[in-house]
Structure 1
Amino acid sequence: MKLLVLTADANTLVYHRGDLIRDFAAHGCEVVTAAAEDYPHVREFVGKLGGRHRAIRMARSKINPLKDLVTLCDMWRLFRSEKPDALFAYTIKSVVYGCVIARLAGIRRVYALLPGLGFTFVKPVTWKQKIVSFISEALHRFALKRADVIFMQNHDDVTLFTGMNMLPQGVPVHVTAGSGVNIEEFGHAPLENDADIAAGRIRFVLVSRLLISKGVRVFAEAARRIKQLQPHAEFHLVGPFDPNPNRVDESEVRQWVAEGTLTHYGMVRDVAPLLKTMHVFVLPTWYREGVPHATLEALATGRPVITTNSVGARECVKLTAEGETQRENGEMLMQGENGFLCQPQNIAAVECAMEWYLANPAQIAAQGQGSRQLAADVFDVRLVNEIIIRAMRLQKAVRGEFAVHSSLALPHSSF
């Protein structure tokens, strides 16, 4: 079976879907990948699995009729030349355009995965946003009718699409726990007996593209406030600048670094070793996530998590009974077994959660254990991939465990 995996972002083929692609190959698929970039490391990774990578012209964001027409033509040529038996498409444009063109090109099986809805289905305010929202809804509704199976990454998105009548009748919908995390490659690094924690030098880290909606400014402002009273606390920002209109400007980050608020690392290809030097992971996002991959990596390494009570993000903290009550009462901070949920865009809530760890350093290791357990029980990539493999009815080509245990190791990145 020849399977074409289509996405807008080539890096995700390795860093987010590498384990899944390895499982596709282990189940006898000839894998061809396609994305908007032709990176050497992607070609190398896919090539080692016996597949090929091809580049097509596709912008990740914004609707531009002329550029999107080029994308449609490239997809048509790609599908007609490769003649795959099935298409596995993820990211918005790959799904809304790919599903339709695949049917026109005669591809027999079409699988659509919606990893996160971002701003696409946020309630529009301006007329421009309303127009874009209308077009996006129409494209999704039309495209998903061409899919044989739909995968979504959290139940909130399923509820939203069901309420909007976006899910076609008769098409199976499967919910995966995000894209999963390889709990062996992101091994547990216990925090018991950590000398820096005992000395009060708690290190907080945010790993993300530098977008306002990912909570980068919230993180920086909470860090600034805490630094004034707790100068030994450390704050680390990991992630690349982004061309998105929602981006954080480079000048802002330079200012935070210059004033001593935080340390910025930029793009880090292998983020696992860096995560293991940190103590508490923070992602104050209000972006409509699938399930944030960086947070999954933090769970796997055994880091307590401070994130928000927003779509996708809330999946990563298991609330205590008290925390559930706090959420029901609409409080700004909700206690979890492995961290805290905060009200979105609430700097004071993030600050309070950070202060709790500074005042209760002995709890960091125990909550880190809770994060690791959550990763193993819910987000293990083997569990996630098994849902997809079974829904696609692929037959395993080799005996043994899933190919996630292959000697072909993946580099680590959350972007």
Structure 2
Amino acid sequence: MKVLVLTADANTLIYHRGDLIRDFAAHGCEVVTSAAEDYPHVKEFVASLGGRHRAIRMVRSKVNPLKDLVTLRDMWRMFREEKPDALFAYTIKSVVYGCVVARLAGIRRVYALLPGLGFTFVKPVTWKQKIVSRISEALHRFALKRADVIFMQNHDDVKLFTEMNMLPASVPVHVTAGSGVNMEEYSHSPLDEDETLETGHVRFALVSRLLISKGVRVFAEAARRIKQMHPHAEFHLVGPFDPNPNRVEEREVHQWVAEGTLVHHGMVKDVASLLKKMHVFVLPTWYREGVPHATLEALATGRPIITTNSVGAKECVKLTAEGEQQRRDGEMLMQGENGFLCQPQNVAAVECAMEWYLAHPDQVVKQGHASRQLAAEVFDVHLVNEIILKAMHLHEAPRSTAVLCHPSPLPLAA
């Protein structure tokens, strides 16, 4: 069986879907990958599995009719030349355009994964947003009718698409727990012997693209307030600047660094090693996530989580009975077994959660173990990939005995 894996961002072929591609190859599939970039490290990874990578022209973050026509033409040519048995497409343009062109090109099986809806299905405010939203809805509705199986990453997205009549009744829908996390690559790093916690040197980290909707400004403001009361607390911002219109400007980050609020690490290749030096992971997002991959890595490493009660993000904190009541009551902070959920865009809530860990350093250790357990029970990449393999009828195929290469750590791609 020949599988063509199509996405907009080449790095995610390893960072988010590397284990799935390995599984395709291990089950005897010939794999071809395609994305907007022709990165050497991606080509090397795919080649190590006996596959090939080829780039197509695709503008990832904007709709440009002329350039999108070029994308459609490139897809058509690639599908006709490769003649895959199946298309596995993820990210918005890959799904919306890929499903339709694949059918026209005669590909027999089409699998669509929606890893997160982002801004596309957030309630529009401006007329421009409303127009873009309506166009996106129409394109998704048209494209998903061409899929054989649809994968979504949380039940809130399924509910929304069901209410909007976006999901064809004849197409099965499977929910995966995000992209999953490799529990060996992101191994447990217990904090039991960390003596710095008792001295107030708690290190908080946010790992993400630097977008406003990922809560970067909320994190910085909460850090500024905590620093005034707890000068030994540390705040680490990890991630590259982003061209997205929703970006945090470089001058803002430079100002935070200059005033001593936080440390900016920029793009980090070995995220796992960095997380092991941190104590608490923070992602105050209100972006419509699938399930944030960086948060899954922090769970696997064994770090308590401060995030928001928003779509996708809330999956990463298991609320206590008290926390569930706090959510029903609409409180700004909700207690979990492995962290806290905060109201989105609420600096005070994030500040309170940080303050709690500074006052209860022993709970950093305890909740870190709870995070690791949650990752193992729900988000292990093998559990996630098994859902996909079964839906594609690959779980019964014999596994290859070949030794599969593991890629070097990649730059952050949250």
Q: Bin the TM-score by the shorter chain.
A: over 0.9
CA 1:28/1:410 → structure 2, altered by over 3 Å: closer, same or farther? Answer: farther
Partner of 1:408: 406
The answer to whether 1:396 aligns with 2:394 is: no
SS at match of 1:45: helix
Partner of 2:61: 61
CA distance in structure 2 between the aligned counterparts of 1:31 and 1:83, rounded to whole angstroms: 12
Task: Report percent identity of matched pairs.
Answer: 82
Deviation at 1:396, TM superposition (A): 2.9
Contact 2:237 2:265 in 1 (8 A): yes
CA distance in structure 2 between the aligned counterparts of 1:410 and 1:278, rounded to whole angstroms: 22
Contact 2:49 2:404 in 1 (8 A): no
What is the correspondence of 1:17-28 to structure 2 with a 5 Å cutoff? 17-28=17-28
Contact 1:7 1:91 in 2 (8 A): yes
Partner of 1:311: 311
Structure 1 unmatched runs, 5+: none
Partner of 1:269: 269
Contact 1:13 1:42 in 2 (8 A): yes
Partner of 2:108: 108
Partner of 1:293: 293
Partner of 1:387: 387
Contact 1:293 1:414 in 2 (8 A): no
1:360-401 residue CA offsets vs partner (Å, 9 max, x unmatched):
00110000000000000000000000000000001433278x
The answer to whether 1:253 aligns with 2:250 is: no
What is the correspondence of 1:126-275 to structure 2 with a 5 Å cutoff? 126-275=126-275
Deviation at 1:406, TM superposition (A): 4.8
1:90-139 residue CA offsets vs partner (Å, 9 max, x unmatched):
00000000000000000000000000000000011111111000000000
SS at match of 2:125: coil
**4+ residue segments displaced more than 3 Å:** none
1:200-239 residue CA offsets vs partner (Å, 9 max, x unmatched):
1000000000000000000000000000110000000000
SS at match of 2:3: strand
Deviation at 1:195, TM superposition (A): 1.3
CA 1:292/1:317 → structure 2, altered by over 3 Å: closer, same or farther? Answer: same
CA distance in structure 2 between the aligned counterparts of 1:409 and 1:32, rounded to whole angstroms: 17
1:328-386 residue CA offsets vs partner (Å, 9 max, x unmatched):
00000000000000000000000000000000001100000000000000000000000
Deviation at 1:254, TM superposition (A): 0.3
Partner of 1:302: 302
**Which letter does structure 2 place at the counterpart of 1:323?**
G
CA distance in structure 2 between the aligned counterparts of 1:154 and 1:408, rounded to whole angstroms: 28
CA distance in structure 2 between the aligned counterparts of 1:230 and 1:123, rounded to whole angstroms: 38
CA distance in structure 2 between the aligned counterparts of 1:126 and 1:234, rounded to whole angstroms: 38
CA distance in structure 2 between the aligned counterparts of 1:113 and 1:28, rounded to whole angstroms: 22
Deviation at 1:68, TM superposition (A): 0.6
Deviation at 1:193, TM superposition (A): 2.0
Over the residues paired in the alignment, what is the CA RMSD in angstroms? 1.2
**Which letter does structure 2 place at the counterpart of 1:363?**
Q
Structure 1 stretch displaced more, 19-28 or 391-400:
391-400
SS at match of 1:71: helix
Contact 1:26 1:396 in 2 (8 A): no
Contact 2:307 2:342 in 1 (8 A): yes
SS at match of 1:265: strand
1:267-287 residue CA offsets vs partner (Å, 9 max, x unmatched):
011100000000000000000
SS at match of 1:124: coil
Partner of 1:373: 373
Partner of 1:36: 36
CA distance in structure 2 between the aligned counterparts of 1:65 and 1:225, rounded to whole angstroms: 46
Q: How many residues align?
A: 412
CA distance in structure 2 between the aligned counterparts of 1:125 and 1:293, rounded to whole angstroms: 28
> Normalization by structure 1: what TM-score?
0.98
CA distance in structure 1 between the aligned counterparts of 2:354 and 2:30, rounded to whole angstroms: 48
Contact 2:34 2:55 in 1 (8 A): yes
CA distance in structure 2 between the aligned counterparts of 1:406 and 1:196, rounded to whole angstroms: 39
CA distance in structure 2 between the aligned counterparts of 1:66 and 1:334, rounded to whole angstroms: 47
CA distance in structure 2 between the aligned counterparts of 1:406 and 1:189, rounded to whole angstroms: 26
CA distance in structure 1 between the aligned counterparts of 2:10 and 2:132, rounded to whole angstroms: 25
Contact 2:76 2:102 in 1 (8 A): yes
**Which letter does structure 2 place at the counterpart of 1:329?**
D
